[in-house]
Amino acid sequence: MFESMAFDSVSEFLQMGKYTFHVWSVYALFAVFLTVNLYLPLARRRQFIREQQRRALRDSQANQSPDGDDGRSDANGGSE
């Protein structure tokens, strides 16, 4: 398996021939792209749940029914 590697040494691998900057900047950009697009929706989800939990707590302390308890906006028939 290791004979089929394109590089003979670690430094050769890190250097990428004449194209150190080009190859590694593309892979760095790719890594940032993947991380950001997976992290942001998860962070947004956590924040939304936190906000809704605070709101539910506030509503229950004010001794009111939770926000919008009356209606199901799930008009497409999501009932089980």
Partner 1 sequence: MWQWFFRLGSPKWFYELSGRWLPWLYVAMTVLLSIGVIWALLFVPQDYQQGDTIRIMYVHVPVASISLACFPLMAVAGVITLVWKMKLADMVAMCAAPIGAWFTAVALATGAIWGQPIWGTWWAWDARLTSMLIQFFLLIGVIALRSAIESPDAAARACALLSIVGAINVPIIKYSVEWWNTLHQPASNFAMDNESPFGPEIWVPLVIMICAVYLFFVISLILSTRNEILVRERRSQWVVDLIAAQKPQGA
What is the smallest separation between the CB atom of 56 and partner 1, expressed in angstroms?
7
CA distances (Å), origin 70, targets 41, 53, 79: 29, 18, 15
Which of helix, strand or coil describes residue 37?
A: helix
For position 76 contacting partner 1 by CB under 8 A, the verdict is yes
CA distances (Å), origin 71, targets 7, 36, 54, 62, 68: 64, 36, 21, 20, 6
For position 62 contacting partner 1 by CB under 8 A, the verdict is no
Residue 5 DSSP label: -
Count of residues near partner 1 by CB under 8 A: 43
For position 58 contacting partner 1 by CB under 8 A, the verdict is no
Contacts with partner 1 by CB under 8 A lie at: 4-7, 13, 16-19, 22-23, 25-27, 29-30, 33-34, 37-38, 41-42, 44-46, 48-50, 52-53, 56, 66-69, 71-78
